[in-house]
Structure 1
């Protein structure tokens, strides 16, 4: 028996360590961008901003930090399943899933550095750039919500995630600036939640209520008209109100275009096959990378052809002294 065991040990197939080459060295810069949504220099710069993500192990060669980042960028950019992404660099589905969740969480932690609402000199620059679009004064951002589809969650709150189009989603509220950067995000609300409620409960709304920002947001008629949030007239009564509506719509279309840019570049946002809490983390990571790409000057060529989405909202106005300020803006700038 001892001799048999010794013979079996000698005939054991040696472990095969897989060759994990560097795609950045094998592909052209354009091919890297097409697969990972960033050029090589930006990927290396992003890697330097993350904490050490090396994962030493005695069982096999560790996955280099660069490949862990590339696996995550491939998932966020394409939304492909973990098994397909793992096959691409010869790792298992479970290993790919661990890399994606771990690195995406670290990217999401960079959000405070890239998702910032304009203040000071930057706020004045944003208002100037918005005013050049259609002449609307003192605009700091355009606000709206978009639905990110998720798998049906388990638990008693499952019905809360069913939106008005009858699929499960998160209702993600964002604010954009004139360069399509996202300056504020609330991404942990179930799909059945109304846009106006998300805004009322947001930290940004509380900041405006406390007077932290001297400017305006533009929203659609699903929001309550408030002194710091301008909405369109449902039935404009004269040319001044019609000119106001035109200027507001021409300016507010930027948030619709921003949603299109974001979902085109990070196609995982078309369907997140995971729990709501993990989906929130992926959304925040994608938005962080969206802003990072704009800062690096790297955008998709197809972003010029985004189709505007028209929100289906309740047109009935709500109360509030925002109507007095709206009337003042009409008299001062659009008469």
Structure 2
């Protein structure tokens, strides 16, 4: 027969077990909501940077690769990361359809005419006048200077081989070449002043492009916390989505803070690279004949 002491010990053990069971976490599952029904049109656009119709278009464009992201609410962080990688790869499969330089002379002429209407600068190819990204290189670290990236790019090779008839505009961090014009550091004539004004105003398109892109996808304003390979993939994917958003006329309130002429008063900085003699000569001819 169990002793009184043994019974008390058993009761104490049972009390301890009950206390443990009471503090033990019960596994719960987050409810997965459908954002199309959960949010209003405006809330949806602000949260996902696309309208509901825009997201439906993306779903049709990228097909089954996006189906698993439709109910992303309630997933674990690891699952979200897996979804992001899979969707980014699906987006990159379409990159040559949406991130591209003009394919032929007619497309180049149209683009150059669009830029000429901005400030009278002829034969310029920067980004598109509608702020689309036409070329992206994402395999360099952020500390790499822009001029080095250009010097080792296929884009530079294409311009030097005469594939493009227009010109690029860059700040004084680049060397002035026959296909890339930089501003004059110390303009002394009215023509040179007009050239600098037109240069800055036209090149402002790419500055606005970057601002619209970063305001549309706010993660570009902060440091990515993903590994380098995933980061490069995400940057290109976001550039492609930016171009699609422009094609779909997807606007959002952040665009209102991007002013067209915010850089016009900034003087050119001292050159970081030696201008080529031929580049300076061609620039001087263009200034004399067009301004």
Pairs within 5 Å for 1:15-164 = 19-53=31-65, 64-67=67-70, 71=72, 89-120=73-104, 121-141=106-126
Matched residues, number: 259
Greater CA radius of gyration, 1 or 2?
A: 2
What is the CA–CA distance in structure 2 between the aligned matches of 1:316 and 1:90, rounded to whole Å? 50
Pairs within 5 Å for 1:256-275 = 256-270=207-221, 271-275=223-227
Structure 1 unmatched runs, 5+: 1-14, 55-63, 72-88, 142-175
Partner of 2:271: 315
C-alpha distance 41-213 of structure 1, shift in aligned 2 (>3 A):
same
Pairs within 5 Å for 1:290-305 = 290-305=242-257
Partner of 1:198: 149
Q: Which has the higher strand share?
A: 1
What is the CA–CA distance in structure 2 between the aligned matches of 1:315 and 1:231, rounded to whole Å? 9
Structure 2 unmatched runs, 5+: 1-26
What is the CA–CA distance in structure 1 between the aligned matches of 2:204 and 2:251, rounded to whole Å? 19
Does structure 1 residue 330 correspond to structure 2 residue 287? yes
C-alpha distance 113-243 of structure 1, shift in aligned 2 (>3 A):
same
Q: Which has the higher helix share?
A: 2
Q: Find the residue that maps to 1:273 and give its secondary structure.
A: coil
What is the CA–CA distance in structure 2 between the aligned matches of 1:45 and 1:233, rounded to whole Å? 45
C-alpha distance 101-312 of structure 1, shift in aligned 2 (>3 A):
farther
Partner of 1:182: 133
RCO (CA 8 Å, sep 6+): is it higher in 1 or 2? 2
Q: Find the residue that maps to 2:125 and give its secondary structure.
A: strand
Displacement of 1:305 in angstroms is 1.7
Partner of 1:151: none
TM-score, normalising length: structure 2: 0.82
Kept in 2: contact 1:221–1:231 (CA 8 A): yes
What is the CA–CA distance in structure 1 between the aligned matches of 2:101 and 2:142, rounded to whole Å? 25
Does structure 1 residue 283 correspond to structure 2 residue 239? no
Kept in 1: contact 2:30–2:74 (CA 8 A): yes
For 1:210-255, what per-residue CA distance to the aligned partner results, in whole angstroms no more than 9, with x for missing partners?
1111111111111111111111111112111111001000111111
TM-score, normalising length: structure 1: 0.72
Kept in 2: contact 1:47–1:66 (CA 8 A): no
Task: Say what the alpha-carbon RMSD is for the aligned residues.
Answer: 2.3
C-alpha distance 317-240 of structure 1, shift in aligned 2 (>3 A):
farther
Partner of 1:59: none
What is the CA–CA distance in structure 2 between the aligned matches of 1:316 and 1:34, rounded to whole Å? 40
Identify which of 139, 159, 162 aligns with 1:211: 162
